[in-house]
Amino acid sequence: MAASGLNASTYDREGRSHIAALADYAMDLMEQMKYINEHSFNNFQMKIGLNMGPVVAGVIGARKPQYDIWGNTVNVSSRMDSTGVPDRIQVTTDLYQVLSAKGY
């Protein structure tokens, strides 16, 4: 799981550059997977689901603290990943509209 725009220094409400950065990251991951498969004896496949929206973030765990995020936005992304098509990036309608406006 990857997230962007979680803190004030990376969140861009106006230009939404953090959303474009996440989309670029997803496309770069797919390209790297393709490169690995072409230069090895592997045939790895990856499914990616992208969503946008509010989340709750924090550190949980007393013995082994971990930073985590929760919320419907995360749940939808997880379902998109599990129901997605291998070697494709699935996006929600809201995210598609933002990325289309940015020329993606």
Kindly list the structural domains of the chain, giving each domain's residue range(s) and its CATH number in brackets, ordered by start: 17-101 (3.30.70.1230)
Helix (H) or strand (E) holding 17: helix 17-38
pTM confidence score: 0.82
Tell me the C-alpha distance between 83 and 49, whole Å. Answer: 9
Summarised one tens digit per residue, pLDDT across range 3-55 is 888 887 777 777 788 899 999 999 999 999 999 999 998 999 999 999 999 99
Name the nearest CA neighbour of 23 among 44, 52, 46, 45.
Answer: 52
Model pLDDT for residues 54-101, shown as the tens digit of each residue: 999 999 999 999 999 999 999 998 898 789 999 999 999 999 999 999
The H or E element containing residue 33 is helix 17-38
Q: Distance between alpha carbon 53 and the CA centroid of its chain, in Å?
A: 12
Q: What does the pLDDT read at residue 17?
A: 87
